[in-house]
A and B are shown apart, each in its own frame.
Chain A
Amino acid sequence: KAGVTQTPRYLIKTRGQQVTLSCSPISGHRSVSWYQQTPGQGLQFLFEYFSETQRNKGNFPGRFSGRQFSNSRSEMNVSTLELGDSALYLCASSLALSSYEQYFGPGTRLTVT
């Protein structure tokens, strides 16, 4: 069974631009969660999507948004990029909503200059 895939793996953007990251969950998994990893902050929860609806949300500004498609694939969008948005963005999929058993993708490394 293929794992969670994320595209692109690396991205360089400039301040003020917007970016869209993509995540394809494990086949059959309906929940996709997004996390931001920065040095010194660990993994911080952004949001979780299940059946095309955002079900949980972390403490991030409205510049961070996402969506999920009917095939469970998910995209995350960050608008008006700031230098502090430079991070590794990880998505994780699970069979059920709010499941502890999450499978992570390799992440997208975003650098904002």
Chain B
Amino acid sequence: DQQVKQNSPSLSVQEGRISILNCDYTNSMFDYFLWYKKYPAEGPTFLISISSIKDKNEDGRFTVFLNKSAKHLSLHIVPSQPGDSAVYFCAAVFGATNKLIFGTGTLLAVQP
């Protein structure tokens, strides 16, 4: 049973436009969420995170939004750059276990 879902396996965006990657979760006990980026032949690298007590966190071109009532989070990248092309994983944690539960990933392709 997939507790963290990324329903779009891929997304294509033009350079300079906004990229929106979505993630849904089922467990209301999750209290921390993270986004990781993964390039081919490399391990995932941490990108940005948000606590469940917030609804937005911004870091440069990257903003994560959390809608707890909808159990939905999204990652906005503005403006998108070709170097952002990668697989993006969302992950969730709940304090009882501190285990990271990952989604299946979304492949973002930013076209020049």
CA distance A93 to B8 in the complex (A): 29
- Chain A 51-108 interface residues, beta-carbon cutoff 8 Å to B: 56, 58, 90, 92, 98-107
Contact of A4 among B43, B91, B97, B100 (CB under 8 A): B43
- Tally of contact residues, A, Cβ under 8 A: 24
A-B pair count, CB < 8 Å, reads 55
Instruction: Tell me if B46 and A102 are in contact (CB < 8 A).
Output: yes
Q: Determine, out of B13-21, B70-78, B101-109, the stretch whose residues face the partner at the interface.
A: B101-109
Q: Convert A14-58 into 0s and 1s, putting 1 for each residue whose CB lies closer than 8 angstroms to a CB of B.
A: 000000000000000000010100001111110010000000101
Given the known inter-chain contacts A40-B104, A41-B104, A100-B49, please indicate yes or no for A106 contacting B41, CB distance below 8 A: yes
Residues of B within 8 Å of A, CB-based: how many? 25
Q: Which residues of B contact A105 (CB under 8 A)?
A: 43
Give A99 to B32 CA distance when docked, in angstroms.
12
Cβ–Cβ < 8 Å partners of B91 in chain A: 43
Residues of A within 8 A of B100 (CB): 33, 43, 45, 100, 102
Q: What is the interface of chain A, defined by CB distance below 8 A to chain B?
A: 4, 33, 35, 40-45, 48, 56, 58, 90, 92, 98-107
**Could you pull out 7 A-B pairs where Cβ atoms are within 8 angstroms?**
A42-B103, A44-B102, A56-B99, A90-B43, A100-B49, A105-B43, A106-B43
List 10 tightest A-B contacts by C-beta distance, closest first. Answer: A104-B43, A98-B98, A43-B102, A42-B104, A42-B102, A104-B44, A105-B43, A106-B43, A42-B103, A45-B99
